[in-house]
Chain A
Amino acid sequence: MKNTIRQVFHSSKFVTGFVILVIILLTMFIYPLINPGNPLEMIGVGTFAKPGTYVSLYDASRTGKETLRLSDADEKRLNRLLSDADRVSMVEWFSAMGIDISGLDISDTDALLDLWKANYTPDSKPAGMTMAKRNYYKRLDKAIKEIGASDTLIITEKHAETGELEEIGSITKTDYVNVGQVANVKSLPLGTDNFGRDVLKELVSATGTSIVIGLIAGTVATLIGLALGLLSGYVGGLVDDLIMFVTNIFTVIPGFVLLILISYSIGQDQRGAAVVAIVIGFTSWTWTARSVRSQVISLRNRDHVNLSKLSGHSLIRIVLTDILPYIASYVVMAFILQVSSGILAEAQLSLLGLGPKTTTTPTLGLMMNWAMLYSAHTNGSWWAYFPVILTITCISFSLNLMNTGLDQVFNPTLRD
């Protein structure tokens, strides 16, 4: 046993897969400690906030200021303000008005603004320009004017009784606050999803749920497959015929279709994560049963089984002590694959909207489903689905890698 484990950990494939899985599992346990709370709490009001660090404006304006005179501050401000699309639109306006723009560099913000201020009048009506477009230019002009309008922003507070505005402070262009001193800073490494929930927190929680679903599904499938395979392989005869008949029926009907039908008929209310896992397990035991059976058939005629029979041991004892240990490594490998395919099956099912009910726990499949329903893939909110895909891929990659590694250790024909 010790030796077997030593061999297993000599396989670089197994170790790589194992390390990836351990990293995922550690993240699953450690991250909630760092960032506790309900993963499904809707913290954002809008949908799909971009990944990044969010600083409370309110708190920032009340935090002690430092004055920093940075030479490139204005330029940066302007650059951030004027997007590339705005610049292109400005050039479009110039050409529509027949203004000479030869020698103008679109990235030279100062030159662009000077030309704009010199030429733009809200009343001008370039030929063929729609009302909406003209309004857009008016808004653009207003924004441009605001940049340079004042150096100081006044913060006022409404008086509780009179309703008058009282000045309580001001912000100038050279005022800075230390982010570390702002009371409320929220880091959202993966942004928020369509309901304004922290994607990273949700992802960590969903990974946990999906792995549990995979484990339950794998256990159910392996237990059913193992029991039927052992029975049909060792007993043989009519029992074998019957079990193989049932197994063949299950094999012929595509497992996923069956899964969809069962999930649908259970109904949304009954479908918790555990129920979905068990349903997945019930539809994927067939190939475990078939391969266990074929292994048992080849073991059944081994001499040590015959000797065990001659020693008068009972059927159960022979199966448990003389057959099961021999196929244990194989069953473990089958189990690992079943776990991996259980996670994938849940993802597929949830993507179709037949996954666990949506109010209590997130799963990887549900996260994909939500991202798809709210068109994350069309509006460029990659953070809502891409990390999920990556996680599913990593889990199934690591499990399959471990399986291949085990195969190399246990399968004599693959030994180097």
Chain B
Amino acid sequence: MSEIKTQNAKDFTDAPLCLSGRGVTKAFGIGEKRKLAVDHVDFDFHEGEFVSIVGESGSGKTTLSKMLLGLLNVTEGQILFRGKPRDISSGRKKREYWKGIQAIFQDPFSSYNVFHKIDSVLLDCINMRGGKHLPKEKKIEMMTEACSFVNLKFAELTNKYPFELSGGQMQRLMIARIFLLRPNILLADEPTSMIDACSRATILDMLLKLRDETGMTVIFITHDIGLAYYISDSVYIMEHGKFVEAGAPDKVMLTPEAPYTKRLISDVPKIHEPWDLSTVDLLQQEA
């Protein structure tokens, strides 16, 4: 059994900006049905920072992540990439931007093309980084290195399909992919929510290792406030498309100010402190 341990959260305020947003908004629908999924949010993610965005379902965190990835257009506001306004107006510019940002999604089972073998998934990453003309041995060496980074054995994976692996292994392969791609930013959208608790620690460990070794910014999107507290350098709490609280994890978790954060923390079952069931009123209609 391996164990991981996080250090104290670091302060990244002086580090150079990697991705920031000013008044970023996403609206769906028109006229009276117009709804703001993300409502004028501002954020500053620094280079090498491990940021968590915490929110319940429907809080807009997935919409925000799609906008950060450039998969959805921003309705209003501006996203700045390394201090300069992001330009993804054409296909070529988008491709250029995507060299700097990559993602790991929630469901490992839908993240792979089931018709592609593991080798081709990893080879594709090498090709994307301009390694298309490298000799075959070099490519295999790179793939082996990436797999051993996530404790997988490349020799055992060749000629296998991703769905022959377990959920945890598939997510680790995703991290191996990121290791090969070396983007500036990794957006991890609930990468541990579909896998078992005992594989979860491994994934978190590898994300931390990845950050430490490559200095990439990790944006970790989760609904699990305990997880966010444990792993991140700064935490953003999102409710109804807005950031209601942001800051260092110790500050946000131990001395929460926003009522939403307080409620979120009190509603999570705990083991050392009593879980107070009286805070919820059964007759109250949920939103």
Contact = CB atoms under 8 A, between A and B. Distances in A.
B42 interface: no
Contacts of A302: 110
Interface stretch (A153-161, A253-261, A306-314, A362-370): A306-314
A303 interface: yes
Contact of B111 (A307, A311, A325, A326): A307
A306 B112 CA distance: 10
Interface of A: 302-304, 306-312, 321-322, 325-326
A310 B111 contact: no
Contact of B105 (A307, A308, A322, A325): A307
B189 to A, nearest CB: 9
A326 B116 CA distance: 12
Interface stretch (B9-17, B94-102, B144-152): B94-102
Contacts of B99: 312
Contacts of B106: 303
Contacts of A309: 71, 98
Give the interface centre of A303, A306, A309, A325 by most chain B CB atoms within 10 Å. Answer: A303
Contacts of A321: 113, 115-116
A304 B106 CA distance: 11
Interface in B102-128: 102-103, 105-107, 110-116, 124-125, 128
Contact of A312 (B69, B71, B98, B110): B98
Nearest to A304: B113
A341 B111 CA distance: 37
Given A311-B128, A312-B128, A306 B98 contact: no
A303 B177 CA distance: 15
A307 B110 CA distance: 10
Nearest 9 A/B pairs, CB to CB? A303-B105, A312-B95, A303-B111, A325-B115, A304-B113, A303-B110, A310-B98, A302-B110, A322-B113
21 contacts: A302-B110, A303-B106, A303-B107, A304-B111, A304-B113, A306-B105, A307-B105, A309-B71, A309-B98, A310-B69, A310-B71, A310-B98, A311-B124, A311-B125, A311-B128, A312-B98, A312-B99, A312-B128, A321-B115, A325-B113, A326-B114
Contacts of B125: 311
A307 B116 CA distance: 13
Contacts of A325: 113, 115
Contacts, number: 42
Q: How many B residues touch the partner, as a band?
A: 20 to 34
Give the residue among A306, A310, A311 with the most B Cβ atoms within 10 A.
Answer: A310
A309 B103 CA distance: 11
Contacts of B111: 303-304, 307
A231 to B, nearest CB: 17
B128 A304 contact: no
A303 B65 CA distance: 13
A306 B66 CA distance: 10
Nearest to B98: A310
Contacts of A303: 105-107, 110-111
Nearest to A312: B95
A239 to B, nearest CB: 16
Contacts of A322: 113
B103 A306 contact: yes
Given A311-B98, A311-B124, A312-B98, A306 B71 contact: yes
A409 to B, nearest CB: 15
B222 to A, nearest CB: 16
Contacts of B98: 309-312
Given A307-B111, A325-B113, A326-B115, 12 more contacts: A302-B110, A303-B105, A306-B71, A306-B103, A309-B98, A310-B101, A310-B103, A311-B124, A312-B99, A312-B128, A322-B113, A325-B115
Contacts of B114: 326
Contacts of B113: 304, 308, 321-322, 325
A309 B105 CA distance: 13
A410 to B, nearest CB: 13
Given A302-B110, A312-B95, A307 B103 contact: yes
Contacts of A304: 110-113
B143 to A, nearest CB: 16
Contacts of A310: 69, 71, 98, 101-103
A308 B105 CA distance: 12
Nearest to A309: B71
B119 to A, nearest CB: 15
Nearest to A310: B98
A289 B106 CA distance: 31
A369 to B, nearest CB: 46
Interface string B79-105: 000000000000000010011011101
A162 B283 CA distance: 123
A312 to B, nearest CB: 4
B185 to A, nearest CB: 11
A307 B108 CA distance: 12
Nearest to A314: B91
A325 B116 CA distance: 10
Interface string B56-71: 0000000000000101
Interface string B261-283: 00000000000000000000000
A46 B103 CA distance: 79
Nearest to A324: B115
